Structure 1
Amino acid sequence: MRRILLVDNGSKRAESTLNLRRIAALLSERTGEPVQPVSLLHSDQIAPERLDGQPTETFRQALEQLLAADQRDLVLLPLFFGPTRALSRFIPESVAEVERRFGPCRLRIAPELCPLPEGEPRLVDILLDNLDQAAQEAGIERTSIVLVDHGSPTPEVNQVRRWLGARLAERLGPDVQLQEAVMERRPGAAYDFNGPLLEAVLDRIARENRGPILLSMLFLGPGRHAGPGGDIRDICDAIQGRHPGLQLHIAPLVGTHPGLIDILLSRFSEAENRPPIRPSAD
């Protein structure tokens, strides 16, 4: 029996796991097959009572249980925008370790959400919809926008934000100023490809122009940075404290948009035509 795993990076925040489970349930309805939500790391540290009494398991724990039960035909749907090291290193290394103890499996990994060079125009649609929603709720025009993501030490992952930012700017038109920022980046010139940190970008825009600023959120779920209680909200509050009267509005997350399910279904279809990450020993 084939098993479908929806995999994200993981978070210590319960809201992140609950959102992953919600997406998995919607995918299960559309595919007609069970979709198992698992995180690579961190989520097993969340107390079950914060997750409706249902404890979590990490990818490695889930894989061990599946292979122990002789369920070896697996499809992995990555909830990642780009080709992170989680996909190129962590997952294959974890699979190899588990296989040494439980025997081989047949694991096909679907493409990430925005595989380059083709990209994914539907993600641009989602970003636009979320910006429209935030602008309408705030009663403002889209004039100054900052596209923000987590940041990455991998240039190929950063190129996904660049690709989306370029297409988003085209769709917004010349009258809208679009800038990009990250929440995290390693120090040193070698990581300048990430661009500036969000707080520096917002502070500069606020000094130059007191008009409203919209944050376009290239995040899939709530966690340490995005969502209620995240760093981004704290940064916005600090900027508004330094610049009284500044309007700063945060758009919804990509992971809350219904269009994400259609993209994941497309990636699932593509996975069925992919070879396993490593030929099965049997």
Structure 2
Amino acid sequence: MSERAGFPVEPVSVLHSSKIASDKLEGKEAEVFETAITRRLKSGMRSFLVIPFFFGPSRALTEFLPERFSVIACDHPDARLVMASPLAGDERIADSRIAKALSDSINEVVVARGLEEYSAVLVDHGTPVREVAAIRDSVGAQLEALLDSRCHSFAVSSMERRPEPEYAFNEPLLENVLGADDFTSGPVVIAHLFLLPGRHAGDSGDIAEICSAAENGSPELRCIRSSLLGGHPLILEILMDRLHETLAQQS
């Protein structure tokens, strides 16, 4: 983004990344939002633009970051935080390029494995925010329309959900899709609505464990996980669009 924008775009996390040792990050320490803003306020900066590396309007964006900024910048009344739209916008205008990136990741698997037919399941993390789940469903509908006749069954799922009934919009869970109905045998491509690996979508993460458990329960089932989306060129394209849209709105 820095190369394409012509000015620095610095990677900052909401939380947690500061726990990573710098020797695992080519010697550069990771920053979290609060530390990054505090340091820049001390250096005299007062205007901040956040480009979310998030699919939808999670509470990290709509609540946590604005609240933390108001606390951090309480002694600087001229400080200003501008938040761009997330990657998928909102549930009404989910960006179709995300579905295209997912389709590309599925096709990579299909071609590499020489699959003549397969099933596919889109999975996201799961969310307490109905609007985020609606984006998943919208992206899922777009993705299903892009898949060719080799895909004979398709489902949208979540990795996990809160147990209370009001969070049932996350259903079905991936663990309940796999091994049921049209997903009991043959290759099932797991399309990740995740940007980066970690304890959920990494090689030894929660989704890999869910797939392994499903295969143990259904010996004819074979789960094949697709690549994650963070490095797909269409994601960078969307990020750049969000940057330019927000800058234009501020001018």
TM-score of the pair, normalised by structure 1 = 0.83
Deviation, structure 1 residue 102: 4.5
Could you say if the C-alpha distance between residues 220 and 146 of structure 1 is closer, same or farther in structure 2, counting changes exceeding 3 Å? same
Aligned to 2:118: 143
Tell me which amino acid in the other structure corresponds to 2:33.
Answer: F
Tell me which amino acid in the other structure corresponds to 1:95.
Answer: F
Counterpart selection for 1:86 from 60, 65, 69: 60
TM-score of the pair, normalised by structure 2 = 0.93
Tell whether 2:160 aligns with 1:184: yes
CA RMSD for the aligned pairs? 1.8
Equivalent-residue separation in structure 2 for 1:201 and 1:183 (angstroms): 11
Matched residue count: 249
Deviation, structure 1 residue 205: 4.6
Deviation, structure 1 residue 47: 1.9
Moved over 4 A (4+): none
| Residue aligned with 1:53, SS | coil
Equivalent-residue separation in structure 2 for 1:142 and 1:107 (angstroms): 49
Aligned to 1:167: 142
Verify the 8 A CA contact 1:64 1:102 in the aligned structure 2: no
Alignment of 1:158-237 (within 5 A): 158-172=133-147, 176-205=152-181, 209-237=184-212
Deviation, structure 1 residue 177: 1.4
Verify the 8 A CA contact 1:153 1:191 in the aligned structure 2: yes
Aligned to 2:50: 76
Range with greater deviation from structure 2 (141-150 or 168-177)? 168-177
| Residue aligned with 2:203, SS | coil
Verify the 8 A CA contact 2:198 2:205 in the aligned structure 1: yes
Verify the 8 A CA contact 2:121 2:154 in the aligned structure 1: yes
Range with greater deviation from structure 2 (235-244 or 212-221)? 235-244
Tell whether 2:54 aligns with 1:98: no
Percent pairwise identity: 39
Tell whether 2:197 aligns with 1:238: no
Alignment deviations for residues 206-235 of structure 1 (CA, whole Å, 9 cap, x no partner): 7x6412100111001111110222111122
Tell me which amino acid in the other structure corresponds to 2:196.
Answer: G
Which gives a bigger RCO, structure 1 or 2 (Cα 8 Å, sep 6+)? 1
Could you say if the C-alpha distance between residues 245 and 177 of structure 1 is closer, same or farther in structure 2, counting changes exceeding 3 Å? closer
Aligned to 1:61: 35
Say which structure is richer in helix: 1
| Residue aligned with 2:221, SS | coil
Runs of 5+ in structure 2 lacking a partner? none
Runs of 5+ in structure 1 lacking a partner? 1-26, 277-282
Equivalent-residue separation in structure 2 for 1:145 and 1:205 (angstroms): 13
Alignment deviations for residues 128-162 of structure 1 (CA, whole Å, 9 cap, x no partner): 00000011122213531100000000100100001
Deviation, structure 1 residue 274: 3.5
